[in-house]
Structures are given as structure tokens and as C-alpha cells.
Amino acid sequence: MADPTDSAAAAAGLRARLRWDAADGSIHDGPRRYLMMRPDVLMGTLARLPGPVRAQVQDAFADSVAAHGIDSIRAYFRQVGEDPPKLMAATVQAAADLGWGAWRFEPGRGRLGLAVTGSPFAQGAATAARPACAPIRGMLQAVATVATGIESEAYELRCVACGAPRCEFEARWAAC
């Protein structure tokens, strides 16, 4: 378990905490293992599926990122003293460190917006009939849930893969 009191490591960001172990062939942030993969390989897998199956896999991808990513988000939340704006700042930095694009949270009444430029999922998808950035949608859901303690649902409203200038997401809370 990463030491949540290690504020120096937390302040340095994910990139400074990642440990590459050549003997094991692994990358870790504390107990959490990471995988480095080309986005064209990942998204090319989805492109080889028929449309309805691709949509199902995208939804499963978002659910899995939300379920597993919430562990990382809770760790960030503890590291920043359970302060929601600081959680968002730490998530923006972690997303950049992971190569998940440039994120900007846009909090609103009863919602949490997120704008992303340079999404690797949109870039890897080339062109798509529906939004391609399911992993980011899942992570937004985890951030919104952890920041408020209320279960949320997240949606990708516009996607670069569909011709939009940037990817735009929104999380809404069940109670709103």
C-alpha cells in the first residue's frame, strides 16, 4: 500500500512515484501496477469488432476503469487531505503523466464537466460513429463519486473521434 502520508511523493505526482522494475518487467505506483500500451493497438482491437459488440465493450471498459480506478482516486484523495479541488488537480496531473491527454475539470451545479484535448483513445480510434473515450468516462465517474461520496454516472457528450474539436464529458449525481 502506498503511504498516504508521503506528501512529498504525492506532491511530485504520479510520474515521480512510478517505479520501473526491469527484473520483473513491471511498472508500479505503490501496489497499483500499470501497463504501457500504444493507443492504436488498443483502439484497433475495438475497431475489429462489429458495431453493437464494440459499444458493449466500450461500456464494459468504462465500468472497469470506474471500478478499478476508484482505488487510485481514493489514494489521491487521501494524499491531498480529502480536498475535492486538489483531487481534481492531482487527477489532471496523473492523467497527463499517464498520457491520457490534457484534462480540465469544469465543475457546475449538480454536475462535473471535463474537457479533454489530445485524448489517446480518440486519436487511436481515428474516426468513430460514437464517442471513443470510454476509459476517461469511467475515470470521471470515479472522481465525481469519490469527491462527493455520491454515486455518479458519467457520459461523453462530444468526442474528437466524431469530429468535435475536443472531448467533453459530464458526470451527474444520482441525487440531482
Beta carbon of residue 4, minimum distance to Zn ion (angstroms, whole number):
32
Dist CA 127 CA 17 (whole Å): 35
**Interaction of residue 65 with Zn ion, rule CB under 5 A:** no
Between residues 88 and 125, which has the closer beta carbon with respect to Zn ion?
Answer: 125
Cβ neighbour number for residue 162 with a 10 Å cutoff: 16
> Is 52 or 165 the residue whose CB approaches Zn ion more closely?
165
Which residues neighbour 126 within 8 Å (Cβ) at sequence distance 6 or greater?
Answer: 43, 47, 161
- Phi, psi (5° rounding) for residue 79? -65, -25
Q: CA 34 to CA 27: how far, in whole Å? A: 5
Judged by CB under 5 A, the chain residues 101 through 130 that form the site for Zn ion are 119, 122
Told to check if 133 binds Zn ion by CB under 5 A, we report yes
Return the range that interacts with Zn ion (CB under 5 A); candidates 21-29, 45-53, 74-82, 160-168. Answer: 160-168
Count of residues engaged in binding Zn ion, rule: CB under 5 A: 5
Long-range contacts of 162-165 (CB under 8 A, 24+ apart): 162/127, 162/128, 162/129, 162/130, 162/131, 162/132, 163/127
Among 77, 159, 169, 170, indicate the residue that binds Zn ion (CB under 5 A).
159
Grid coordinates given for 105: 475539470
Q: Which stretch binds Zn ion (CB under 5 A): 13-21, 27-35, 88-96, 131-139?
A: 131-139
**Minimum CB–partner distance for residue 38 and Zn ion (Å):** 17
Of 79 and 138, nearer to Zn ion (C-beta) is 138
Summarize as ranges the residues that interact with Zn ion (CB under 5 A).
Answer: 119, 122, 133, 159, 167
